[in-house]
């Protein structure tokens, strides 16, 4: 019941009959110590139950032993999968994983503080909402290559980044709808200013041009990845003179809201209108109707980001290897129940 005092390295040294230096070396650089001594030391470590004090090691080695994951909204289930991947990717490493929610706070300042406090060695950023000047400051401090963006990224900067193949996803969706006979295809976008919004919409439009499909301004419907924005979009569509026969949504959540709204408005999905999402969140397969969508492996994005950052942290300061800046994780079309052949034209 009483607080037992922790074992220090000198206790191990005493138990093994060697100096602290030898114990330390046995732990960090085993091959330089004599086989017999090594065994003695390991035995002493085992019998004393020694564990190295991280604060001391970190202070001496001038490192933090931790990385930070900045999440725009921890409550959003989308990110939890990425987080799980990151956590798994660092499980074997001796870096701890810190999290911070940027919600409503100045992301740049937070990151700057964590770094300058010596609390973190690196950063995985799921939030591209950092101001350019903050980034410049970070890069100027020479820590630019210990930052990895995941899912989102910032155009025109040299930071490492892991993302899914957004363009490929949009292409898959459009080709598939086209193959089903759809010509009038609308797009429900993400929030304004978001890089994913931009890229997915641009790819969708490029593909529409390539397939020589008709375009109407009102068929690009502004959303924000949320359920509510999908429901709002449904109302807009219901009110249109020229309704699309299919909608490609930039997110599953938006697609869910859209479907709910359309059905409430009296349309049948997919008989009257097809809907396709993006993400493939867990519920997509169980929604009614189940959702055809572009699957991005969020867990793998997280794992890959962890891998990338670890590689950058491990090489300490040996200059080379600024390659491998961008990793694209493949996407997959998940065929389900929310899409079907285009209805016969009413015109």
Partner DNA sequence: ATGATGCATGTAATCGTTTACAAAGCGACT
Partner DNA sequence: AGTCGCTTTGTAAACGATTACATGCATCAT
Report if residue 288 touches a second copy, rule: CB under 8 A. Answer: yes
| CB closer to DNA out of 37 and 236 | 37
Q: Alpha carbon of 108 to those of 79, 133, 134, 146, 325: distances in Å?
A: 20, 9, 5, 15, 21
Report if residue 157 touches a second copy, rule: CB under 8 A. Answer: no
Q: Which of 282, 311, 322, 324: binder of a second copy (CB under 8 A)?
A: 282
Q: Of the listed pieces 26-34, 68-76, 154-162, 167-175, which binds a second copy according to CB under 8 A?
A: 68-76
| CB closer to a second copy out of 65 and 168 | 65
- Chain residues 89-108 in contact with a second copy, contact rule CB under 8 A: 91, 96-101, 103, 105
Report if residue 132 touches a second copy, rule: CB under 8 A. Answer: no
Q: Strand runs (DSSP E) across 126-168, as ranges?
A: 147-150, 160-164
Q: Which residues contact 12 (CB under 8 A, 6 or more apart)?
A: 23, 41, 44, 45, 48, 50
Report if residue 232 touches a second copy, rule: CB under 8 A. Answer: no
- Minimum separation from the CB atom of position 78 to a second copy (A): 9
| CB closer to DNA out of 10 and 335 | 10
**Nearest-10 crossing angle of helices 298-314, 77-89:** 40
Calpha distance 32→25 (Å, rounded): 7
For the CA atoms of the chain, what is the radius of gyration? 26
Sign of CA dihedral 239, 244, 245, 251: negative
Q: Of the listed pieces 13-21, 32-40, 61-69, 147-155, which binds a second copy according to CB under 8 A?
A: 61-69
Which letter does DSSP use for residue 270 in this model? T
Report if residue 2 touches a second copy, rule: CB under 8 A. Answer: yes
Report if residue 292 touches a second copy, rule: CB under 8 A. Answer: no
Contact between residue 25 and residue 33 where contact means Cβ atoms under 8 Å apart: yes
Calpha distance 304→293 (Å, rounded): 22
| CB closer to DNA out of 48 and 76 | 48
Binding positions for a second copy, rule: CB under 8 A: 1-4, 6, 49, 51-56, 58-59, 64-66, 73-77, 79-81, 83-84, 87-88, 91, 96-101, 103, 105, 113-114, 116-119, 139-142, 227, 231, 256-257, 259-260, 263, 282-283, 286-288, 299
């Amino acid at each position: 019941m009483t607080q037992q005092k922790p074992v220090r390295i000198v206790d191990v040294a005493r138990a093994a009959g060697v100096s602290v230096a030898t114990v330390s070396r046995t732990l960090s650089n085993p091959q330089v110590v004599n086989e017999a001594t090594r065994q003695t030391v390991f035995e002493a470590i085992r019998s004393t139950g020694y564990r190295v004090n991280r604060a001391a090691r970190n202070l001496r080695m001038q490192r933090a032993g931790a990385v930070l994951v900045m999440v725009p909204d921890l409550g959003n289930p989308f990110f939890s999968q990425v987080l799980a991947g990151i956590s798994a990717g660092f499980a074997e490493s001796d870096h701890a994983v810190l999290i911070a929610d940027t919600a409503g706070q100045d992301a740049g300042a937070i990151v700057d503080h964590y770094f300058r406090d010596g609390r973190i060695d690196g950063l995985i950023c799921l939030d591209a909402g950092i101001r350019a000047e903050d980034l410049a400051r970070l890069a100027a401090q020479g820590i630019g290559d210990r930052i990895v963006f995941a899912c989102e990224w910032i155009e025109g900067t040299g930071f490492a980044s892991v993302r899914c193949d957004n363009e490929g996803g949009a292409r898959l969706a459009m080709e598939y709808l086209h193959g089903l006979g759809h010509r009038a295809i609308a797009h429900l976008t993400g929030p304004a200013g978001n890089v994913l919004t931009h890229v997915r919409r641009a790819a969708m439009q490029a593909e529409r041009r390539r397939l020589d499909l008709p375009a109407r301004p009102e068929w690009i419907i502004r959303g924000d990845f949320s359920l509510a924005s999908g429901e709002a979009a449904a109302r807009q569509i219901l009110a249109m003179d020229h309704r699309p026969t299919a909608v490609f949504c930039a997110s599953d959540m938006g697609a869910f809201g859209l479907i709910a709204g359309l059905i409430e408005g009296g349309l049948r999905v997919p008989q009257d209108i097809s809907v396709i999402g993006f993400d493939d969140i867990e519920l997509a397969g169980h929604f009614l109707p189940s959702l055809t969508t572009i699957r991005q492996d969020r867990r793998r994005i997280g794992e890959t980001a962890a891998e990338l950052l670890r590689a950058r942290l491990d090489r300490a300061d040996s200059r080379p290897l600024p390659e491998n800046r961008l990793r694209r994780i493949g996407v997959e079309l998940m065929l389900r129940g929310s899409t079907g052949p285009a209805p016969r034209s009413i015109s």
